[in-house]
Amino acid sequence: MIWLLIGVLVILAALGAPLFAILGAIALIGFHMAGQEGIAVAVEFYRLSDMPALIAIPLFTLAGYILAESKTPQRLVRLTNALVGWLPGGLAIVAVLACTLFTAFTGATGVTIIALGAVLYPALRQAQYGEKFSLGLLTASGSLGLLLVPSMPLILYGVVAQQFQTTPPVSIDALFRAGVLPCLLMVVMLGLYSAWHVRDVARPQRASAGELWAALKDAAWEIPLPFVILIGIYSGKLAASEAAAATALYVLLVTVLIRREIKLSQLPQVIRHAMVLVGGILVILGFSLALTNWLIDAEVPEKLFQFLRTHIPESNPFLFLLALNIFLLVFGMLLEGFPAIILLVPLVLPVAVRYGIDPVHLGIIFLANLQLGIFLPPLGINLYIASARFRQPVMTLVRAAVPFFLIMLAATLIITYWPGLSLWLAR
Amino acid sequence: MNSAFQRNLALLHRFEDWLLTALVVFMVLLAGAQILLRNVFDSGFAWAEPLLRALVLWSAMLGAVIATREDQHIGLDFIGRWVSGVKLRIARFIALTFAAVLCGLMAWHSWALVQLDLEGGTEGVLGISAWMLELILPLGFGLMALRFLIRSVLPPKSHELLPEAGA
Amino acid sequence: EVLKIATTAPDGTAWMREMRAGAEAVRTRTEGRVELKYYPGGVMGDSNTVQRKIKIGQLQGGAFTGGEISNVNGDVQLYSLPFLFRSQAEVDAVRAKLDDRVKAGFEKGGFVALGLSGGGFAYIMSTRAIKTRDDLTASKVWVPQGDHIAEVAFKNAGVTPISLPLADVYTSLQTGLIDTAANTLAGAIAFQWHTKIKHVVDLPVSYVVGVIVVDKKAFDKVSAADQAILKDEMGKAFARLDQISIEDNGKAVEALKKQGITIYQPSAEETANWQKVGVDSAKQLEGEKALSGDLYKALNDEIAALRKK
Ligand code: NA
Ligand code: NA
């Protein structure tokens, strides 16, 4: 019976049924089999309005769409070209850095693809980088930055982990310090690959001082934006949701009222485009909340983990870490960052400590793997977000992301099996 | 479809677009005002936070409703590359009728949620009860169910590329 | 019968430990007929969501703070009136007389209270130095979502508080969305706020209670004998928590001092200035009929009698 249902849902998904409807159906069937009323799914879905951090998604998306419809991407291309365009893979490196910082701020990887993809994709294409390379780079870079201060998933891991009173203790500060080098490793590896990959793309000559000044002046309204967000969040003056609001308001005022690159009459259309995407993502999130709740109630992750545990002797942490990598990858793909952390940390942490793994190191392993799972085919959510954002079939994104996935997998393995990289700054 | 029906449908589309614009602009202004009040004047509205969260839900549901009429929901989309013509229309009919049924069920269940909070008298924000804030769920899912039914018998809309995505 | 109970209390805290011990005792004494299954750490959502899930039968109960469940029984916040008590001895004497009436108040809301416990006194704590009421009005103060009494109290102190779910307080302290909150000292450590705050005002603001309630419909499915066991064992667990909370709060003071957190002692004059907030708030709450009139009167009579001695 269950296999029949799964088969039907797989066929429906293949026929082009929306992902949210598939998740909704699984949730309704799951709750029904657990003897619950369908209203329970509606109650879970309504928890979308219980999440204060969620507002960052529509606000950053709107800001991204407005910037995308204005001449900002062109100005950014001009400026970055003038600054580092002469480096091998210069713009790709800029893209990796920008995506890393953005995700660290928002804690949301999909938002990065949405908001920065709009700016970076045309810029990369304009700089003659291949379509597949550009799509893959942006899809992968979306999740880069989860390891970097002040990433919210990192904080969340700390809060959950601290309940276990481990020795050595897990402090948020230690996590922040621990994440720096692993994040840097990923950035450097992606940057090197990019520089190598685009070695044949014609490199423009170093820009003249006059051009650099002109490009700076041209982008005068955009340049303060990252600094306001950066200083706002690092100084503790702005929460992520506030930074999102400040960004949206600033971009709206500059583009519509000061520069007038988008006419007031065009605004409803831009808003509609942005919110169609946000709506599409949030209905999926709503049903994934319901699904997660059902998983918790049916103790599915726990049973899965128990199964895993009986096959690995306590004396073999290497094997445990390998299993953990696979486990986290799959669950990261299925569950997304926040639910995955809330759900899995309480299960994994006590066992990992018994295998002799430092809980701070475990946090970095956790997020590095989730970072990969978020764009792991076939269900990694960022593949779908990038697909919607760039209006490309999911299969195209999957293929484009493969080389980047392999590089980040290599980085994740280094991070997993080399505790010193995480712990050097932390302890 | 007769023309009066189409006129009304077009009117509904325009109403959705404008309501969405109004909600989103209000959301940006309120969130922006809140930051200014909080960081510059050490004050703020206690109701802003819960109201903003309700605005997110409402504008997301409206966005999802509009996504339905524009064939823009996120899903596996390789079917269109494998088959075409009548076969694609049949696949669409099955997939979107399924989505319509799911949305219909969700409209029904979320209406039960509205009634639950209507009876329970759960508080919302600014004197707006929780059940009123929840109304967008049965409304949104109901509209989506109707839209999916309509879309299931119509040919797929070609997604015109956004200027920034096609550059 | 399995009773599914949700709570925002994090796993690993004394609350969860004692609730689990209570559940174990119930299971043993009822020979497995009654089991309690817990969902700690807020995995089932905020209190409104948990209450919805109880109504639809997905859950059978919850362990709430007084503020979280005050919409069902306003009297649960009777002891939480700002600046009401002056000492733990006063609390103990009053609770001995009135606990049963507070618990009985849940019946009309369709719930049965199995246990009621005091978490101790809440203190104002902040990332900035707060010495006077004026300092407080210049801060970004958190108030628990739906906690009417706390909201009234802060408004009377001249603050527009920011309402957030409990689960978001830590990150909001981190990002600066809020800089000030009130909680018991042990609570501040359980939720890790002590890693963010720098100052505590040494003035008991409000007495915090926690209560475990189950849906009356689910409770009635249990046999009378097992109901008695359930009430007895969970009542005992919550009574143990009363004592544990006192000890934990005592230890918390030392832990906070060790962390270098300033514990500020207000002068008698400032204390009186703070306490005026209590008088104003009580007046307002009385006018609003937020508490049952006769119970409020009984409370005042008890306290007056105590202080006459
Ligand atoms: Na963040
Ligand atoms: Na990123």
Phi, psi torsion values for A259, nearest 5 degrees: -85, -25
Give A242's contacts in chain B (Cβ within 8 Å). 31, 34-35, 38
Q: How far apart are CA B144 and CA A129, in angstroms?
A: 40
Closest CA to C178 of C169, C187, C186: C169
Give C176's contacts in chain A (Cβ within 8 Å). 235-239
Residue B161's pLDDT is 33
What is the helix, strand, coil percentage profile of chain A, to 5?
Answer: 80, 0, 20
For residue B150, what pLDDT band results from cuts at 50, 70 and 90?
very high
Q: What is the DSSP string of A350-369?
A: HHHHHTT--HHHHHHHHHHH
- Measured at the CA of C275, the angle between CA C273 and CA C276, to 5 degrees, comes to 70
Between the CA of C248 and the centroid of ligand 1 the distance, in Å, is 32
pLDDT tens-digit map of C49-100: 999 999 999 999 999 998 889 889 989 988 988 888 888 899 999 999 999 9
Closest CA to C7 of C58, C44, C60: C44
| Cβ within 8 Å, pair A236-C39 | no
Q: Of A311-315, A336-340, B119-123, C272-276, which range is least confident?
A: A336-340
pLDDT tens-digit map of A380-425: 878 888 888 888 888 899 999 999 999 999 999 999 999 999 998 7
- Measured at the CA of A62, the angle between CA A58 and CA A63, to 5 degrees, comes to 120
Between the CA of C241 and the centroid of ligand 2 the distance, in Å, is 45
Candidates C47, C49, C53, C55, partner chain B, best to mutate (most B CBs within 10 A):
C55
- Measured at the CA of C47, the angle between CA C44 and CA C52, to 5 degrees, comes to 75
pLDDT tens-digit map of A28-64: 998 998 888 899 999 999 988 877 667 877 887 788 7
| Cβ within 8 Å, pair C58-A242 | no
- Kindly report the length of chain A: 427
CB C26 within 8 A of CB C233: yes
Q: Cβ-count burial of B29 within 10 angstroms (0-12 exposed, 13-18 middle, 19+ buried)? A: middle
CA distances in angstroms from C112 to A33, B120, C44, C105, C115, listed in the order given:
28, 17, 20, 9, 9
Question: Between chain B and chain C, how many beta carbons pairs sit less than 8 Å apart?
Answer: 36
| Cβ within 8 Å, pair C174-A236 | yes
Residue B165's pLDDT is 29
C170 touching chain A per CB within 8 A: yes
Strands C206-215 and C111-126: antiparallel
Strands C199-201 and C262-264: parallel
Q: How far apart are CA C40 and CA C53, in angstroms?
A: 15
pLDDT tens-digit map of A69-82: 777 766 766 777 67
Cβ-based neighbours of A193, under 8 Å, separated by 6 or more: A403, A404, A407
Give C39's contacts in chain A (Cβ within 8 Å). 296
Candidate from C10, C44, C46 with C-beta closest to A163: C10
Between the CA of A99 and the centroid of ligand 2 the distance, in Å, is 4
Around ion ligand 1, which residues have CB less than 5 A away? A 107, 150, 152, 240
The residues that bridge with A24 in the sheet, in sequence order, are none
Decide: helix, strand or coil at residue A386: helix
CB A103 within 8 A of CB A143: yes
Cβ-based neighbours of A54, under 8 Å, separated by 6 or more: A48, A282, B53, B56
State the smallest CA–CA distance between residue A197 and chain B in angstroms. Answer: 22
| Cβ within 8 Å, pair A163-C12 | yes
For the segment A206-210, the average pLDDT, to the nearest whole number, is 80
The ligand placed nearest to the CA atom of residue A138 is 2
pLDDT tens-digit map of A212-261: 888 888 888 888 876 776 666 556 566 667 778 888 899 899 999 998 99
Phi, psi torsion values for C142, nearest 5 degrees: -85, 140
Candidate from A62, A125, A246 with C-beta closest to B24: A62
| Complex-level ipTM beyond the 0.90 threshold | no
| Cβ within 8 Å, pair C11-A150 | no
Closest CA to A21 of C285, B88, C205, B103: B103
| Cβ within 8 Å, pair A163-C52 | no
